[in-house]
């Protein structure tokens, strides 16, 4: 039985693979977890994994350049609204997206998927064009790109913010506790928006978009030998997600350490519908196409790709 190495973050959407509640017929699935930045870098530069969670933006950049060694299936293990991930210094006068005009803004990388969504937010909700902000980045791009950025001299975005190299930053990862309290209300830095959670809900109600961050990729060489694998994996991911939603709604025990997680789940369903984290193309085509429009505006791709250029043929009707 052939072994397939699957690299992903360990979440409730992927847990079923790790505990073998879902299994792939005819293959032995070896699950590997690591920080997603590490997974992305190894997959982009070394093709280190047979199946891997991967940056949506980096994948589209690669496909736009004719790269054919990876093929995606429309499974999106990471999605996130990003209003709540923009930070300023605690004593800053900045309180809105429009306040960022002509300011200095730091990202870890320019090409990261979340950065594409954030620049779109600043354009569409803040009325700020890309050339009205001075962009800084704080680590090497995983795929070489030409970008209108200055490489920050600080070791990371938060150091750049605290040393006044930049006025605001985005970080997918939570700031360290020594500069941002666990309750989110104290420390040397704060969130830009006073009510980012309300802003994120309003964004969804207005756009019907739940931003996609990551996608599942498979080595094309493997799919050439086992073309049914793409759809079989897609179906397993759907089953794993179904189990995750069932678990979070369970009241006999809490699947999360959060005491009111069931309330949050029910409120999410009321706002976003039963299938609030959709897989497949029928429910995600609009979001993916809009994202590629944003990538084009950022200069990351020359033009949007068709969905059949991005996803395996067996999953186009999902």
In this predicted structure, the answer to whether residue 230 has a pLDDT above a threshold of 70 is yes
Q: Which pLDDT tens digit goes with each residue over 36-55?
A: 999 999 999 999 999 999 99
pTM: 0.97
Going by C-alpha positions, the residue among 23, 22, 24, 49 that lies closest to residue 36 is 49
In this predicted structure, the answer to whether residue 1 has a pLDDT above a threshold of 90 is no
Alpha-carbon gap, residue 78 to 279, rounded angstroms = 11
- Average pLDDT of the residues in 270-292: 98
Q: What is the pLDDT of residue 23?
A: 86
Q: In what order do the strands lie in the sheet with 70-73?
A: 27-32, 2-7, 51-55, 214-219, 70-73
Q: Which pLDDT tens digit goes with each residue over 178-226?
A: 999 999 998 999 999 999 999 999 999 999 999 999 999 999 999 999 9
Q: What is the pLDDT of residue 186?
A: 85
Rounded to 5 degrees, what are φ and ψ at 23? -140, 150
For the chain, percent of residues with pLDDT exceeding 90: 97
- Average pLDDT of the residues in 73-96: 98
In this predicted structure, the answer to whether residue 142 has a pLDDT above a threshold of 90 is yes
- Average pLDDT of the residues in 108-125: 98
DSSP-derived 3-state class of residue 120: helix
Q: Structural domains in the chain? A: 2-79+212-315 (3.40.190.10), 83-207 (3.40.190.10)
Q: Which residue has the tokens 């354009």?
A: 123
The average confidence (pLDDT) of the chain is 97
Alpha-carbon gap, residue 59 to 98, rounded angstroms = 31
Going by C-alpha positions, the residue among 28, 81, 100, 67 that lies closest to residue 301 is 67
Under a CB-based contact definition with an 8 Å cutoff, are residues 271 and 241 in contact?
no
Structure tokens at 84: 């709540």
Q: Which pLDDT tens digit goes with each residue over 149-186?
A: 999 999 999 999 999 999 999 999 999 999 999 999 98
- Average pLDDT of the residues in 61-85: 98
Give the up-direction half-sphere exposure of residue 188: CA atoms within 13 A in the CB hemisphere. 12
Structure tokens at 253: 């025990």
Alpha-carbon gap, residue 14 to 196, rounded angstroms = 27
Q: What is the pLDDT of residue 25?
A: 87
């Amino acid at each position: 039985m052939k072994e397939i190495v699957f690299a992903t973050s360990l979440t409730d959407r992927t847990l079923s693979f790790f505990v073998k509640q879902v299994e792939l017929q005819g293959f032995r699935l070896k699950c590997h977890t690591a920080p997603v930045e590490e997974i992305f870098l190894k997959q982009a530069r070394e093709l280190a994994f047979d199946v891997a969670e991967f940056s949506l933006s980096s994948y589209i950049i690669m496909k736009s350049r004719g790269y054919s060694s990876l093929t995606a299936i429309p499974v999106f293990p990471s999605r996130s609204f990003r209003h709540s991930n923009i930070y300023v210094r605690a004593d800053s006068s900045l309180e809105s997206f429009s306040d960022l005009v002509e300011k200095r803004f730091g990202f870890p990388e320019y090409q990261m998927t979340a950065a594409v969504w954030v620049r779109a937010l600043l354009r569409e909700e803040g009325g700020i064009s890309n050339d009205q902000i001075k962009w800084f980045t704080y680590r090497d791009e995983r795929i070489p790109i030409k970008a209108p950025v200055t490489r920050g001299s600080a070791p990371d975005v938060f150091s750049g913010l605290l040393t006044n190299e930049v006025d605001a930053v985005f970080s997918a990862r939570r700031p360290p506790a020594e500069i941002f309290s666990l309750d989110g209300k104290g420390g040397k830095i704060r969130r830009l928006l006073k009510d980012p959670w309300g802003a994120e809900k309003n964004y969804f109600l207005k756009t019907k978009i739940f931003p996609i961050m990551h996608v599942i990729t498979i080595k094309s060489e493997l799919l050439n030998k086992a073309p049914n694998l793409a759809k079989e994996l897609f179906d397993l991911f759907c089953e794993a997600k179904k189990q995750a939603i069932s678990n979070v709604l369970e009241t006999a025990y809490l699947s999360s350490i959060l005491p009111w997680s069931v309330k949050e789940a029910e409120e999410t369903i009321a706002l976003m519908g039963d299938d609030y984290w959709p897989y497949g193309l029928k429910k995600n085509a609009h979001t993916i196409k809009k994202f590629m429009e944003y990538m084009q505006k950022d200069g990351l791709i020359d033009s949007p790709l068709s969905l059949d250029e991005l996803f395996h043929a067996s999953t186009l009707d999902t």
